[in-house]
Amino acid sequence: MKEKSAAESAVQEAWEEGGIESRVSSALLGQYSYSKSEFEANHAADVLAFSLEVTRLSKNYPERGQRDHLWTAAETAADLVEEKTLTTIIHALVDHRTLSSAGKSLVSVSKHKNRS
């Protein structure tokens, strides 16, 4: 089976985490790394960020119920994310959309729900 490209993986992640059916609408916007806690261990996670054109939203998807999910203006999303490099990437997306007259950008922000 063919391995997915980074862009194809972004589309897959959007589906699994938020029920977002989409297609990549731009080249790579940026990348960053962060420390991810998983299975009681920390490891570095590398993220490649793409702009996706949403084609459909589904109420049923693989990680439904595992995350808090919010659609908001890109400018607001930039203030909500914790990773500073991602904030910069989102601001660049806003600037690009403004310059290209493509209109407003909405960003999906999701975070794992706290497990008690």
Establish how many alpha carbons lie within 13 A of residue 24's alpha carbon, considering only the half-sphere containing its beta carbon.
16
Task: Give the predicted TM-score (pTM) of the model.
Answer: 0.76
**What is the per-residue pLDDT for 101?**
42
Candidates 82, 96, 19; CA nearest to 50 is: 96
- H or E segment to which residue 114 belongs: none
Provide the residue ranges of all domains of the chain, joining segments of one domain with +. Answer: 6-112
By the 8 A CB rule, do 103 and 97 touch?
yes
Q: What is the pLDDT of residues 21-61, one digit of tens each?
A: 998 877 888 898 888 887 778 888 888 988 888 899 899 99
